[in-house]
Amino acid sequence: MTLYTSTVVTPRRRPGVWARVGQSTVYAIGLPLLLLVVWGVWSSASPQIFFPDPIVIVQAFVKTWIGPAFVVDVLPSLGRLALAIVLAVVLGVAAGMIIGLTRWLRELLEPTLEFFRAIPPPTLIPVFILLMGISDTMKVSVIVAGAIWPVLLNTIEGVRATDAIMTETARSFALTRAERIRYLVLPAASPRIMAGVRQTLSIALIMMVISEMFNTSSGLGYRIVYFQRNYLIAEMWSGILLLGLVGVLLAVIFGFAERRVLRWYHGIKEVESA
């Protein structure tokens, strides 16, 4: 006589919303707090002129940036950064769509794109200065020239990777070219486009700082170099801290936008992983 035993599988309980929020918060601020504690202990045990105490840096941050410098240096830099990011994304997506959808144009431009992508953008700053002079237009152009490549190349690859069966289905339903781009190509390429935008944000921030280090008298990059040349070490670190906060702000804004744009994509991933 054979006995059959059944095993009852209890579903694994998922943590609640507040538990997940608390866990994410600990992960987000745990390492920075640990690094600050280590920095503070190290700077107190062996004072270094080039690595001041975190409290000194915070005091310099408040003294330097909470005031006229915010209007004179920070706001113009952020304005140029925002404009350059918008231009890089719009131009990169538009040009990437055209190149990705046109085979002969893609084959014609591919060597040229690879050539210009290999040129480090900071080396083009003297050229932009000669052509445009020292102006906001030059700084925005420098940022766009360096930041457009991730969006452009990812858009091209995303368009090329559009499912061939879906494309033929769209044609069989007599969709116009504009409808195919809107309802098929753009959604299919959007994950890669957003990956390119993520890279563009970091490159744009770097290029903003570099563009303001050459023959300028305002901006975050200029101010940090000014502090460094005058041995205002705490103020220099406060500028670096401000750049880090700007990067965090860009990451938060991008995360919100990505969840909105790729809501359908993350939903599919959650269903597949369930």
pLDDT given for residue 4 in this prediction: 47
Cβ burial of 65 (10 Å; 0-12, 13-18, 19+) is buried
- The pLDDT tens digits for 93-105 are 999 999 988 888 9
Q: Give the global pTM.
A: 0.82
Are the C-beta atoms of 168 and 122 separated by less than 8 Å? no
Class of domain 79-273: mainly alpha
* Diameter over CA atoms, the chain: 94
Residue with tokens 């940090």: 224
CA 30 to centroid of chain Cα atoms:
23
**What are the residue boundaries of the structural domains of the chain, listed by start?**
79-273
User: Nearest to residue 218, comparing CAs of 66, 60, 71, 64?
Assistant: 71
Q: How far apart are CA 228 and CA 54, in angstroms?
A: 18
Tokens, residue 84: 């350059």
Taking only the tens place, the pLDDT of each residue in 123-149 is 888 888 888 888 889 999 999 999 999
Under 8 Å between Cβ of 161 and 188 = yes
What is the average per-residue pLDDT within 181-192? 86
Beta-carbon contacts of residue 258 (< 8 Å; ≥ 6 apart): 194, 198
User: Which residues partner with 104 through β-bridges?
Assistant: none
